[in-house]
Structure 1
Amino acid sequence: MTDDLTKRGLPDQQRINLNEPWEVRDWCTKFGVTEAQLRAAVKAVGVMARDVAKYLGKPYP
C-alpha cells in the first residue's frame, strides 16, 4: 500500500518503506549508506528501522 500524501499525521519512523523513493533517499542519508546497502540490510533483517540500524552498525535515536 502506498502512502496517502493527503494525511498530515506524523510519518512512521519505525519502518523503512523501500517502495517510496523519498523514504529510500531519506533513510540512506540518515544512515550514511548507499541504496544497495540499505536494500541489502532490509532484506537481511526486515523493515524495522531499529533492526536495520543495528545491522548496519549505525545509531538509532
Structure 2
Amino acid sequence: MADDKTKRDFRDRDRVSADEDYEVEYFATKTGITPQQVKELIAKHGNQRETLERVTLRKQ
C-alpha cells in the first residue's frame, strides 16, 4: 500500500538516516565530507542532525 501523501509528518527531519543513501549523500555534500565519513559519524555520535553538524564543523 502506498503512503498517503496528504498526511505529512516531519518528525524525522532532525535526523540523518544512515540507511537512506540520498540522506547520507545530501549531508556529505552539504558538509564537504565523504558519505563513508557521514556513516562513521552516525555510528559514533548518533543520527541527530544538529550533533553531526556540530561535530563536522569542529573537525574542519
Same fold (TM over 0.5): yes
Identity %: 20
> Any unmatched runs of 5+ in structure 1?
none
Q: 1:16 deviation in Å? A: 0.3
Q: 1:10 deviation in Å? A: 6.5
SS of 2:13's equivalent? Answer: coil
Larger helix proportion of the pair: 2
- Alpha-carbon RMSD across the aligned residues, in angstroms, is 2.1
- Choose 10-19 or 27-36, whichever is displaced more: 10-19
Rg comparison, structure with higher value = 2
> Any unmatched runs of 5+ in structure 2?
none
List structure 1 runs of 4+ shifted beyond 3 angstroms: 5-12
